[in-house]
């Protein structure tokens, strides 16, 4: 079996990135949390902090995508899926004292104008999320162009609500964003007549 030191380093880094971001997380803090010798970082990641950061972004992005799509695919329809996603995010935020939101957003904003390697890694993650959401929306008979628009807006609503919720330490923003996200998905469904509000529950899948 391969060394799990590398795995511990990646997992510890991922958790620290979520709470403190890329710049605020030191290599010493990482090896302390992972209970690994300092040299291991450069043994497994010769490219140093940047290489470790890029891998953590990709791994965290994939993990989060798997998590969200599992919730999504367990729901009976896309409207419920989106509502469940926001509800789950709110619950996680409360349970973790508003610490564990998106593992990518903080790093994405930090590096967007300062490190193009890491910026590209965050862009790849977001693109993968958008594609996954588009697939599920088009499966629910939403036209591709509209599906992409709705997918992007849904992710934007979630990310933006994370910022507001973590700053204010309430889940109000996630709940407000959920209402809008659900309404726009419902309005995009065929036969909805573009109706955004109202109690009609779609069963489109």
Partner DNA sequence: GTCTATAAACCGATAGAC
Partner DNA sequence: GTCTATCGGTTTATAGAC
Specify the stretch interacting with a copy of itself by CB under 8 A; choose among 2-10, 27-35, 65-73, 117-125: 117-125
Considering the complex, state which of residue 81 and residue 158 has its C-beta at the smaller distance from a copy of itself: 158
Decide: is 3 part of the binding site for a copy of itself (CB under 8 A).
Answer: no
- DSSP sequence for 98-159: T--S-TTHHHHHHHTTT-HHHHHHHHHHHHHHHHHHHHHHHHTT--HHHHHHHHHHHHHHHH
CA 13 to chain centre: 16
- DSSP sequence for 23-50: TT--HHHHHHHHT--HHHHHHH-TTHHH
* 71 vs 59: CA distance, rounded Å: 19
Smallest distance from a copy of itself to CB 46, Å: 24
Smallest distance from DNA to CB 55, Å: 13
Q: What is the largest CA-CA distance in the chain?
A: 61
* 166 vs 34: CA distance, rounded Å: 26
* 88 vs 109: CA distance, rounded Å: 24
Using the rule CB under 8 A, which residue among 105, 134, 140, 189 binds a copy of itself?
105
Smallest distance from DNA to CB 42, Å: 4
* 154 vs 159: CA distance, rounded Å: 9
Which x/- pattern, by CB under 7 A, does the window 2-21 give for DNA? xx-x----------------
Considering the complex, state which of residue 23 and residue 132 has its C-beta at the smaller distance from DNA: 23
Out of DNA, a copy of itself, none, what residue 11 binds, judged by CB under 5 to 8 A for its kind, is none
Give the binding site for a copy of itself (CB under 8 A): 19-21, 23-24, 97-99, 105-106, 108-110, 112-114, 119, 122-123, 126-127, 148-150, 152-153, 155-164, 166-169, 172-173, 176-177, 179-180, 183-184, 187, 193-198
């Amino acid at each position: 079996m391969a060394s799990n030191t590398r795995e511990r380093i990646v997992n510890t880094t991922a958790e620290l990135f979520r709470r403190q971001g890329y710049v605020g997380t030191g290599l010493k803090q990482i090896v302390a949390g992972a209970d690994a010798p300092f040299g291991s970082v450069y043994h497994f990641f010769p490219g140093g902090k940047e290489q470790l950061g890029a891998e953590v972004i990709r791994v965290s992005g994939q993990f989060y995508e798997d998590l969200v799509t599992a919730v999504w695919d367990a729901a009976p329809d896309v409207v419920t899926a989106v509502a469940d996603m926001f509800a789950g995010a709110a619950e996680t935020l409360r349970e973790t004292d508003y610490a564990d939101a998106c593992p990518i957003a903080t790093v994405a904003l930090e590096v967007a104008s300062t490190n193009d390697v890491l910026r590209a890694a965050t862009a790849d993650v977001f693109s993968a999320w958008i594609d996954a959401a588009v697939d599920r929306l088009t499966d629910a008979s939403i036209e591709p162009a509209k599906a992409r628009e709705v997918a992007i807006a849904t992710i934007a609503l979630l990310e933006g609500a994370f910022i507001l919720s973590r700053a204010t330490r309430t889940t109000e923003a996630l709940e407000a964003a959920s209402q809008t996200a659900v309404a726009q998905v419902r309005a995009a469904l065929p036969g909805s007549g573009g109706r955004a509000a109202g109690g009609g529950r779609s069963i489109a899948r």
